[in-house]
Amino acid sequence: MGLTIAQKIIKDHLKLDLSEGPKLNQEGIPLVGEDVALKIDQTLTQDATGTMAYLEFETMGIPRVRTELSVAYIDHNTLQSGFENADDHKFIQSMAQKYGLYFSRPGNGICHQVHLERFARPGGTLIGSDSHTPTAGGIGMLAMGAGGLDVAVAMGGGAYHITMPKMIRVNLTGKLAPFVTAKDVSLEILRILTVKGGVGAIIEWGGPGVKTLSVPERATITNMGAELGATTSIFPSDEVTKKFLESEGRGDVFIPLESDADAVYDKIIDIDLSALEPLIACPHSPDNVVKVSELANKANADGTSGVIVDQVCVGSCTNSSLYDMLKVASLLKGRTISKDVSMSVSPGSRQVLNKLVETNALMDILSSGARLLECACGPCIGMGFSPNSRGVSLRTFNRNFEGRSGTKDAGVYLVSPETAVAAAITGRITDPRTLWEAGEIDVEMPDAFTVDDSAIIPPLDPEEASKTEIIRGPNIKEFPVGKPIGDELVCELVLKVGDNITTDHIMPAGSKILPYRSNIPHLSKYCFEVCDATFSERAKAAGSSIVVGGLNYGQGSSREHAALVPLYLGVRAVCAKSFARIHVANLVNAGILPLTFEDPDDYDRINQGDKLRIVGIEEGLKAGEVLMIDDSNGEEIKLKTDLSSRQQDIIKAGGLLSYVASN
């Protein structure tokens, strides 16, 4: 039996402990569901999660990173309306200098775009403290989002543990029609699988249609694989990959990589690229997908058609490549955006911005009336450029969760750059195929990029690094440390929430909150604010508590703050119908026990405010089942604990830091 691309990379990076596992098949590949320890070649952090990751790394007492390469990016908290963000940047830069990391300065670009351009390599492993790290899968890298503590451990040379995923193959045939894009491919797979459909799986893209997609297009697709809940997504490394790497002056890192002809997949999905048309994700979920033409033809009370648009944003790690920006410039050339629309454009990197200047494409964008924003995440995480009250915003981003834009009652739609520009010009959701002829997009990608890495500060040599003083501002506080779980938990059910609770619900982002990512006590005031503004005070008053959720609890960002802040507030366990992958890992790392209902209907048998006892934990962790007793009514509910032996030990120790210290 042949191997998939992902299986080949996993096999090459396995850290085996034959006394404990994992169990392997005859090809030497771990069985699905086994705990897998991987050697990590590269790591990345960004500033919203990086401060905590470096505090955790420092606690380990390791003098220098032990990866092939680690990069600290500043791209999230670039809005410096107070001292907090600037202080964090100084701290991260000093940590990078002391411990041997590359440091990408503010304004150099979004971590995923820059990493794709300058560092990612086919066949390697990468984890990053950002859920969209799988962007590098567009270049044939096994790249996964992770919590900051997992990244810290990997930087120290430790293994990254995952549950061996299933393999899903998406076969692409045909070729995209004009004004149909890689973003529409992403939305189509979300329509098919939903935001829960990729949980526990790696999605591998193949078939003859793959060769028609450039690396930036492939990276858009792997980027949005995060919205499926997938472990990661990956493309082959082929002649298209080689050409891209050569254009970046990095042709030496190219290796060919493809799945074997007889590779076996758990599921196969076929998509005919030529049959797709422009798609749009409606509020408030990336899988709420319909055809653009449906909304463009929607009748209004005044006799017009098309949903009226207030704002358009082009950028984010999904659609900020030079390829995307040149298309936007070409469509805007000689045109003016609607007087009723505010439009922003955020190039993904300084390299992209420089090329827009060189080709005069930037003037085509600016002359249309669009606003140029910094090469950073910006509006995607609510860091500026929020919509007006009840505004309709079309964004080329990857998430449209309620309130994420910074305006709670805004309606955010996810679209391709072409659909975004069409709306900016007309002031309404418009099918771009009705505005332009097939040949009107004039985009010519360079054979060679102008490489300027002056905004990337390389590591110091070890002797010089040892002299570096760590700069700590007053906003940097200690992080909470978990306690050993014991055999019984007595908790109040302080919050009961529904399905698809995101990490934005648990620990919101935005310009008002993100500057306090290194200050857990301050952040705790905002925990679950979107769901219940009284949560923080009630949780503190309870002392020891449990949160109950529905399906797909913890989807979205990889932010470990969504575990660390509840830990600080006394949450000892979270019980849900099902969890998103990264959030389970973050809960375990924090020392919070993740549990699932054996019978999902039992969710309805308990209520907020009930006094709960979880008993038989020590034996139950081994058996995979514990008992919860509701002391309010005597109800007994069986709960599952699907944790590896290592995760069980972490929970018993009170979290990953305590576990690492004792091992």
Return phi, psi of residue 617, to 5°.
-70, -45
Active site residue 284: no
Nearest to 202 by CA among 2, 14, 10: 10
Active-site pick, 161, 169, 433, 559: 559
Active site residue 35: no
441: CB partners within 8 A, 6+ apart: 178, 179, 327, 330, 331, 418
Q: Residue 501 class from Cβ within 10 Å (0-12 exposed, 13-18 middle, 19+ buried)?
A: buried
Query: How many CB atoms are closer than 10 A to CB 604?
Result: 8
Quick check: 7 and 231 in contact, CB under 8 A?
no
Active site residue 466: no
357: CB partners within 8 A, 6+ apart: none
Active-site pick, 13, 35, 41, 76: 76
Active-site pick, 75, 88, 310, 324: 75
Active site residue 399: yes
Burial 535-550 (b: 16+ CB within 10 A, else e): bbebbeebeebbbbbb
Q: Name beta bridge partners: 174.
A: none
Nearest to 340 by CA among 303, 393, 377: 393
Cα 339–341–343 angle (5° rounding)? 120
Active site residue 76: yes
Q: How far apart are alpha carbons 473 and 471 in whole angstroms?
A: 7
Tell me the one-letter amino acid at 33.
G
Active-site pick, 342, 511, 536, 557: 557
Tell me the one-letter amino acid at 136.
A
Residue tagged 């992209």 (tokens): 352
53: CB partners within 8 A, 6+ apart: 45, 129, 148, 149, 151, 152
Active-site pick, 284, 399, 404, 583: 399
Active site residue 262: no
Active-site pick, 41, 130, 184, 310: 130
Three-state secondary structure of 380-395:
HHCCCCCCCCCCEEEE
Q: Residue 409 class from Cβ within 10 Å (0-12 exposed, 13-18 middle, 19+ buried)?
A: exposed
Q: Tokens at residue 336, please?
A: 């003016």
CA-only gyration radius of the chain, Å? 24
Secondary structure (DSSP) of 609-652:
T-EEEEE-HHHHHHHTEEEEEETTTTEEEEEE----HHHHHHHH
Nearest to 148 by CA among 75, 48, 218, 2: 48
Alpha helices in 367-450 (DSSP H): 417-426
Q: Tokens at residue 254, please?
A: 């190219």
Catalytic residues, by residue number, are 75-76, 130, 399, 557, 559
